[in-house]
Every structure is written in C-alpha cells, then in structure tokens.
C-alpha cells in the first residue's frame, strides 16, 4: 500500500488532487458569494421575466441590490439601469402598450424597502417621470427618470 502512494505522487497525482480541491473550493466560494451578491445577469433576468421584454441592448446596470430569499423563496431585488435616450423612449412605449402594465397611480409607487432608499439615495422622487407597474405580478415596477436615460426597476414578493 505504501508503494502505491509513492507511485501516485511520482506520477503527479498529488498536484491533480490539490487542483481538484482548489477548484471545488473556488466554485463553492463563488456560488455562495453570488447567492448573496448576484451578478448583473440575475438583474437582467429579473427584468426580462417580469416585463416579457429583452433587457435593453444599451442598458448598463449602474447600481443594484437584493436580499437573500427567505424560507418561502420570497425576495426583493432592484437595479438602476442607464440606457440611451432612444431605447428609453422605446421601452416606455413598449411597457405602456403591454396589457400587463399600467401607469402606477398608487400612493406607494416605488421603493418599499430601506435597501431601495439606500440604493436610490442620490435620486430624488421628483426626478421620476412615471412609474409603470405589472398588474399580474405581485410587485414589479419600473420607474422612468426625467433625465430620459435611466430607469429603476423593483421586484418584491412576500
């Protein structure tokens, strides 16, 4: 048995074993990190799933936040997206023309968590031109800013 071990070491198996362990540890670390701090793709997917539209081609996520799902799978996520003016206008028109969306006239409009307020601390509520809400989703809203180049979307379930 002792000689078998020496043969494996001589053949470089120890290095391969260490590489496999490091790879597994790296993958687990990355998976745990992205569970708490999702990548941009998570927010792009949230946008697509909740609007039925592709994420804007010129869209760039400039700020984002979310919380980890609770025991029921409920979570909150929000992102600020900058895009060019033409796509901003086209997106606004597309959402308004979808039967799932309407202009939000509720008192709350957008921003239901303290995390949202922290995410948008540099944006005044007066900077929001209009908020659209998905009437078939529990809570999904898109705010269009008056600067004609940024949107904020927010998704929440409870």
Tell me, yes or no, whether 135 and 59 share the same domain: yes
Question: Residue 59 half-sphere exposure, CB side, CA atoms within 13 Å?
Answer: 25
- Are residues 42 and 14 part of one domain? no
Indicate if 49 and 7 belong to the same structural domain.
no
Same domain, 31 and 44: no
Tens digit of pLDDT for each residue in 72-97?
Answer: 878 889 999 999 999 999 999 999 99
105 φ/ψ angles, rounded to the nearest 5 degrees: -110, 10
Res 141: pLDDT: 94
Looking at the fold, whether 107 and 45 belong to one and the same domain comes out as yes
Q: If pLDDT is split at 50, 70 and 90, which confidence band does 8 have? A: low
Domain count for the chain, please give it.
Answer: 2
In this structure, the answer to whether residues 104 and 151 fall within a common structural domain is yes
The rounded percent of the chain whose pLDDT value lies above 90 is 53
| 44 vs 2: CA distance, rounded Å | 55
Q: What is the pLDDT of residue 12?
A: 63
Residue 5 has pLDDT above 70, yes or no: no
User: Residue 21: which domain range?
Assistant: 2-35
Beta strands in the chain (DSSP E): 60-66, 76-82, 101-103, 128-134, 140-145, 150-156
- Which pTM was predicted? 0.82
Same domain, 26 and 42: no
- Dump pLDDT digits (tens) for 86-131: 999 999 999 999 999 999 988 777 887 888 888 999 998 899 999 9
């Amino acid at each position: 048995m002792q000689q078998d071990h020496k043969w494996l070491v001589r053949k470089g198996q120890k290095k391969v074993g260490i590489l496999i362990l490091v790879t597994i540890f790296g993958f687990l670390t990355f998976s745990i990190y992205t569970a708490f701090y999702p990548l941009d793709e998570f927010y792009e997917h949230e946008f697509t799933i909740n609007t039925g539209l592709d994420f804007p081609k010129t869209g760039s996520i400039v700020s984002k936040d979310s919380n980890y799902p609770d025991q029921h799978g409920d979570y909150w996520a929000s992102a600020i997206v900058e895009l060019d003016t033409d796509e901003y206008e086209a997106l606004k028109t597309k959402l308004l023309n979808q039967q799932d969306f309407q202009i939000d006239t509720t008192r709350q409009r957008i921003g239901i968590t303290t995390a949202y307020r922290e995410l948008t601390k540099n944006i005044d509520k007066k900077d929001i031109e209009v908020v659209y809400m998905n009437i078939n989703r529990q809570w999904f809203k898109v705010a269009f800013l008056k600067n004609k180049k940024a949107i904020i979307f927010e998704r929440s379930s409870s």
